[in-house]
Structure 1
Amino acid sequence: MANADVWQIIETDEFYRQFLRKDSGEDIKNEAIIQGFSVAEQLKKLAEGISLLDKELQRQVLENHEDLLSQATWIEKLEGVLSVMQSHVQCLLSAVERLRTKIIEPFNKVEMQTMMLSNLHATSDLLRRVTRIQHLSKRLNALMQAGPAGTIDIIKAAQSLSELSQITEDVDLSGLEVVEEELRTIRLHRNDVEKQTRLMLNQGLQSQNQTQVTTAVQVFSNLGSLSTTVSQVMEGAKQRVTRSIKEALDVQTLTHVATADASKTRGAPGRAAMPSPGNASMFRSRLWSALEHLFDSSIYTECSQIELLQRVLLKKVRDLSLVSHIQNAAYIDLLPKDQQELTSNFWLEVSTQLSRQLIQASQSASFLKQTLEGEYPKFLRLYLDLCKRLQAVGRSSDQGEIILQDAEPQAGKTAVFELNRDVVVAFENAYLSRSVSRLLDPVNLMFSGEVVPSHEEVDSLIRTITSELSVSLVDVSLSRTVARNISKTVRLFCLKCEQMTVTGGEATQVIDSCTPGQLTNISIANLLHYLNGQVARVVSNMKNSLPSDTISIVLESLQNTDELTRGIVNPILSSITDAIEAIILTMHNEDYSMGPVPNASTNMATRKPDAPCSLYMKELQDFISRAVKNYLAVFQNQDVVSKCCVSVAGRCLELFLRHACLVRPLGEGGRMKLAADFAQMELAVAPLCRQVSELGRPYKMLRSFRPLLFLTVEDIQACTALGDVIPYSLVLLSLFARGPQELLSPHQSANWSVSRFSQWLDTHPSERERLELMSGALQRYQQTVRQRGETKFHSVYPVMVNLLERGMKTAGK
């Protein structure tokens, strides 16, 4: 039976299969199968299974007996090899033990010799140190016993102490009797040198002696205590500044002194209380004296000393950097990074302390607060003077630019001592608030009634503005802020004036003499002009002292007065314009159809017209002259009025040209009369402007159009002024009058009145739209001619069509 058959029998048999499975889930099922057999049957099945396994084992042994014998033989050989290896291992262990015995003894001897050598080296180094200490101690004693320590001696002593410090810093010399006396002497000499050097440093800083400070810095650098000494100097200066600030702002002291002075004056005992009205001025005087001493003496002295110290320190760094980069780095290591900017750090601390103490003092004493707020410019001047003096010290110092390794270049020294706004911001805001009130209150007061303010009231406001600008000269920022307040004042003044301005028909009539409303508006406009002139005069007088942006702010605010004046003048000018248009419209009531004038010159383009002035032109001249005299000349701000009148004069010329082109019928004598009107028109608008030539394009059109009245249509077509000076639409409009009655003008073709057509032209300034309207009139004429069966157009028609095409091309560009 094959091996596969035996296993197949066992796996397929339910009884045998239970011995092959390890699943716990099949336990219940297996028990059920076993219970299905009796004990005898189970034993029989087991016996049969064992028999099958025995047979299978025998079969496997018979088939593989050679392999089994071979494996048994190799096991015996392996046991022999292991026995040989065990003997070799024993030999190796014995050899290792013998080698260990030979190595340990020399190692112990070498170790002992090494320890002895190390001890010899330590002893030798200690002896060298002791010898050097004794030598340096003798030299130090000689230097210190030579008399009062001079500059050279103290530097040499510091060098010796520095070397002694390096010698003793890594070794314990306690217990060595040979150097105990020297070490004690060295400590005494070190204390003595530090004491004298500190005294030298203080004296040098107080007297601004750079040589003494440099020597002291060198000594402390040699002693290795430079950083500590600098910190002590900084801390001492901060404490002195803080104490000086507190003393200057001590209300009790100031009050006591002021009261004592008042008592001496009155001969009566005083009280240590808040200043009374009688001694308030003494209190302020004492306060300002204390603040002047604080800024001019205490803070300036301490800041200049710190400036000198930093100057010496950075000069030392620069000198070392020229010698060796490594030495420079080593020196910088002795000086912390925050001490490389002593001046800026100290100034920041001074500003912080000053700000804190001022706030505390003002909160505890209302009178002190009122004094600083009311006379803020004086306080600011003291502060700015201090900054300027310190900046001058920084500029004059021969410090140079120092660029440290792994550090950014230092900023310019003049930027260190800048005004810190945190110190003055609280008092500045209060002062500016009062300044605004001082500026705005007069404006509100002068406009409290219904009467236009007088020049005297404006002069009072001007004096206030002058005073505010004068006291703001101490600081650019303050001056700029005051200028903004003045700008607010001018705007408020303009707003009040605008509220008083009269509007409606009473303010715009131009028929009768000036109404009360117009007189009020004229007074307001003249008052605005007076304010403008006075403020401009004040600024002009201070232009050498005021910053340019301050001047700009004030002058820009004055433009509001011109704008309001324009707002008052423009309604009147609008009424004048309407009246001018109404008068020009009466041109069409004139008769321009008369024939040629007898004995007239053939060169009509150059001949001066002999025709009399038209009635409407006479009326126009009289009206403009009267309007200018009664309604415009009374305004004092003639610059604004003249600028506004330019547009009115230009409008007058445009209307005249427009309606002159609409005149129909127009005969040869009518052209002469119309040419005379052209000449008279220049005289009519002359009162509205300084020079008629300044009217620009309208004036050029007037002068260029007049010769066209006497030219033929062919000459008009060749005129070079067309399209450049004179619009094509205007020339076409004038040519309608030269055509037959069937060639209706554009307004006649549209069945409009002349006034309505004029309004349409005002609302349609586009040249293309105007030409399109005239094109419609020409097309209507063309249709009329064809309907009549005529084969020929009037001679003016092709010229007009040609001009229309040229105009449309120009308008399309």
Structure 2
Amino acid sequence: MIENLLERISRDTDVKGVPPALSSEGKEQMIAAIKIFETTFLSLCLSQLSDLVNSVFPMPSRGSIPSKVHILRILSCIQEEIEAVQMNARLTLLVLHEISKALLLLAERSEHQISTGPEAHQVTGPATPLQLKNFILCQHLQDIHTHMMSTVSGLPTVAMDVLSVALGTLYEVAGDSVASLFQAMLERLESCILQIHEQNFATLGIDAAIDNNASPYMEELQKSIVHFRTEFLSRLLPSSGAISRGTETICTRLVRSTASRVLIFFIRQASLVRPLSESGKLRMARDMAEIELAVGQNSFPVEQLGAPYRTLRAFRPVIFLETSQLSSSPLLQDLPPSVILHHLYSRGPEDLQSPTKEQALQRNKLTPIRYSLWMNSQGDDQIWKEIKASLDDYAAKVRARGDKEFSPVYPVMLKIGSSLTGNESKFWQMLN
């Protein structure tokens, strides 16, 4: 009221040739004289919001999760504080600063309520009470974050700057409440995929070649994905229709990330399989179709995963191409060079030892599983260095025998490998 009065005095006494009734310095002095009212008002605003948060998340109590009604009460109070001052831009920003403090307090109290320990991230049995508590907490924080983002969207851009830290903290805490569960899920699915190296993709009988059943490891993977959907994801995700419409929440982001990682991890392991016969390629192609179906129906629409999905769809026909066709195939645009290089080992002679062969890297004794783990922590140049070393060893053996030509895969691998250091990093960054 005082600020509006001063603005009116300045406006109504703005007469040409006459000194202003209120100078800018005088206006600042009058505003400073009533500063105590502004300070008290903001203090009461923060006190009211903080008291509400403290009543919902009492300290040192742990284990009690507020109801939906409690969360709506907090949001309603925040909305009322904003509406009370929204006609004054400066005061609105000052109130948003106090709201930001209250949201940070809410994030701190919520973080204290997150359940941890084995029971909170087990993934083989039904959802435990502690996991259900974490799910509710995550959804509450997600609702608050979504509501605040919607509220800020109708305010000046600077409002987002004021609330960005608090909203980012809320988002992070919401993710932390279920992050260990998703990590445990991913580790379980990766352990199923790693069993691919225990399967026989070498020469198979005619019955195995025409068998429509998935490989044993793939059946276990499918069961695990269905279990995760039934026990965990169904409680965290919106309806499948909402996902297909592109609705992004904290949980859908985590599910999308997990689904992408599963496809990427499978492609990497599939490329390491050796030997791989023609009938083995048929079984591998069936497994690719099965994992696409399992992930798409029970985790996340695979068509919306972008690069990981394109990579899976490209790798399936690639394994059936002739070696001479690979270099010029447009399918390579959707595949990282390391995947192609590792797959080409399955087409080479026995004395072209792949990095996954223990006799190829005696100093490291890398099995396929350990080699995959090793790649997770290595740069593109190191991966190519190991592949190039095996190619050089092979070339030395050929020359020592006096042979006049190399295996057809040798020049192809050299050509593709030359692009590994330059392109691989960009490719995996795009996948992530």
Q: Shorter-chain TM-score: which interval?
A: 0.7 to 0.9
Choose the corresponding residue for 2:12, options 393, 400, 420.
Answer: 393
Between the aligned partners of 1:574 and 1:692, the Cα distance in structure 2 is 20
Between the aligned partners of 1:445 and 1:676, the Cα distance in structure 2 is 56
2:187 partner amino acid: D
SS of 2:334 mapped into structure 1: coil
2:353 partner amino acid: L
1:670 partner amino acid: G
Between the aligned partners of 1:755 and 1:411, the Cα distance in structure 2 is 82
Map Cα deviations across residues 686-715 of structure 1 (whole Å, 9 max, x no partner). 157653233222222212221111111111
Select the structure of larger CA radius of gyration: 1
1:736 partner amino acid: Y
Map Cα deviations across residues 464-488 of structure 1 (whole Å, 9 max, x no partner). 3233223334533222111111111
Between the aligned partners of 2:31 and 2:23, the Cα distance in structure 1 is 17
Matches within 5 A, 1:531-542: 531-535=144-148
Deviation at residue 564 of structure 1 after TM alignment: 1.3
Between the aligned partners of 1:538 and 1:795, the Cα distance in structure 2 is 63
Deviation at residue 519 of structure 1 after TM alignment: 1.8
- 1:616 equivalent to 2:240? Answer no
2:303 paired residue number: 693
1:517 partner amino acid: L
SS of 1:746 mapped into structure 2: coil
Is the contact made by 2:263 and 2:312 (CA closer than 8 Å) also made in structure 1? yes
Deviation at residue 661 of structure 1 after TM alignment: 1.3
Deviation at residue 499 of structure 1 after TM alignment: 0.9
1:631 paired residue number: 232
1:679 paired residue number: 289
Choose the corresponding residue for 1:567, options 166, 176, 188.
Answer: 176
Deviation at residue 804 of structure 1 after TM alignment: 3.2
Between the aligned partners of 1:741 and 1:667, the Cα distance in structure 2 is 14
Between the aligned partners of 1:470 and 1:795, the Cα distance in structure 2 is 73
Deviation at residue 795 of structure 1 after TM alignment: 3.4
Choose the corresponding residue for 1:728, options 333, 337, 343.
Answer: 337
Is the contact made by 1:526 and 1:636 (CA closer than 8 Å) also made in structure 2? no
1:497 paired residue number: 110
CA, structure 1 residues 480+780, in 2 after alignment: closer, same or farther (shift >3 Å)?
A: same
Choose the corresponding residue for 2:70, options 437, 450, 457.
Answer: 457
2:193 paired residue number: 584
Between the aligned partners of 1:812 and 1:418, the Cα distance in structure 2 is 59
Deviation at residue 552 of structure 1 after TM alignment: 5.7
Map Cα deviations across residues 153-196 of structure 1 (whole Å, 9 max, x no partner). xxxxxxxxxxxxxxxxxxxxxxxxxxxxxxxxxxxxxxxxxxxx
2:329 paired residue number: 719
Choose the corresponding residue for 1:743, options 352, 357, 373.
Answer: 352
1:506 paired residue number: 119
- 1:655 equivalent to 2:265? Answer yes
CA, structure 1 residues 811+499, in 2 after alignment: closer, same or farther (shift >3 Å)?
A: closer
Deviation at residue 642 of structure 1 after TM alignment: 1.5
SS of 1:650 mapped into structure 2: helix
SS of 1:744 mapped into structure 2: coil
2:188 partner amino acid: A
Matches within 5 A, 1:7-18: none
Is the contact made by 1:596 and 1:668 (CA closer than 8 Å) also made in structure 2? no
SS of 1:663 mapped into structure 2: coil
Deviation at residue 502 of structure 1 after TM alignment: 1.4
Between the aligned partners of 2:198 and 2:254, the Cα distance in structure 1 is 30
Deviation at residue 535 of structure 1 after TM alignment: 4.7
Map Cα deviations across residues 763-790 of structure 1 (whole Å, 9 max, x no partner). 1142x32121111112222333445555
Deviation at residue 681 of structure 1 after TM alignment: 2.1
Choose the corresponding residue for 1:422, options 18, 28, 32.
Answer: 32
Matches within 5 A, 1:233-382: 381=1
Is the contact made by 2:135 and 2:235 (CA closer than 8 Å) also made in structure 1? yes
1:763 paired residue number: 377
1:680 partner amino acid: E
Choose the corresponding residue for 2:49, options 433, 439, 452.
Answer: 439
Between the aligned partners of 1:585 and 1:529, the Cα distance in structure 2 is 34
Between the aligned partners of 1:533 and 1:810, the Cα distance in structure 2 is 37
2:366 paired residue number: 752
SS of 1:742 mapped into structure 2: coil
2:130 paired residue number: 517
Between the aligned partners of 1:463 and 1:812, the Cα distance in structure 2 is 47
Deviation at residue 806 of structure 1 after TM alignment: 5.3
Deviation at residue 428 of structure 1 after TM alignment: 1.7
1:83 paired residue number: none
- 1:488 equivalent to 2:107? Answer no
Between the aligned partners of 1:702 and 1:672, the Cα distance in structure 2 is 15
Structure 1: runs of 5+ lacking an equivalent = 1-380, 403-409, 601-608
Is the contact made by 1:628 and 1:687 (CA closer than 8 Å) also made in structure 2? no
- 1:801 equivalent to 2:409? Answer no
Between the aligned partners of 1:804 and 1:485, the Cα distance in structure 2 is 57
CA, structure 1 residues 457+646, in 2 after alignment: closer, same or farther (shift >3 Å)?
A: closer
Between the aligned partners of 2:91 and 2:422, the Cα distance in structure 1 is 61
Deviation at residue 633 of structure 1 after TM alignment: 2.8
Is the contact made by 1:508 and 1:572 (CA closer than 8 Å) also made in structure 2? yes
CA, structure 1 residues 440+475, in 2 after alignment: closer, same or farther (shift >3 Å)?
A: same
Map Cα deviations across residues 284-311 of structure 1 (whole Å, 9 max, x no partner). xxxxxxxxxxxxxxxxxxxxxxxxxxxx
Is the contact made by 2:272 and 2:356 (CA closer than 8 Å) also made in structure 1? no
Deviation at residue 433 of structure 1 after TM alignment: 1.9
Map Cα deviations across residues 696-737 of structure 1 (whole Å, 9 max, x no partner). 222222122211111111111322343x43222221111111
Is the contact made by 1:510 and 1:575 (CA closer than 8 Å) also made in structure 2? yes
Query: What TM-score comes out, normalization by structure 2 length?
Result: 0.83
Deviation at residue 507 of structure 1 after TM alignment: 1.8
Is the contact made by 1:394 and 1:414 (CA closer than 8 Å) also made in structure 2? no
Structure 2: runs of 5+ lacking an equivalent = 239-247, 427-432
Deviation at residue 614 of structure 1 after TM alignment: 2.0
Deviates more, 1:466-475 or 1:437-446: 466-475
1:666 paired residue number: 276
1:594 paired residue number: 203
CA, structure 1 residues 431+700, in 2 after alignment: closer, same or farther (shift >3 Å)?
A: same
Between the aligned partners of 2:344 and 2:237, the Cα distance in structure 1 is 46
1:776 paired residue number: 389
Matches within 5 A, 1:1-12: none
Between the aligned partners of 2:165 and 2:425, the Cα distance in structure 1 is 42
1:625 partner amino acid: V
CA, structure 1 residues 802+454, in 2 after alignment: closer, same or farther (shift >3 Å)?
A: closer
Map Cα deviations across residues 131-166 of structure 1 (whole Å, 9 max, x no partner). xxxxxxxxxxxxxxxxxxxxxxxxxxxxxxxxxxxx
Is the contact made by 2:237 and 2:252 (CA closer than 8 Å) also made in structure 1? no
Is the contact made by 1:562 and 1:640 (CA closer than 8 Å) also made in structure 2? yes
Between the aligned partners of 1:747 and 1:623, the Cα distance in structure 2 is 27
SS of 1:793 mapped into structure 2: coil
1:761 partner amino acid: M
Is the contact made by 1:649 and 1:688 (CA closer than 8 Å) also made in structure 2? no
Higher helix share: 1
Between the aligned partners of 2:288 and 2:425, the Cα distance in structure 1 is 31
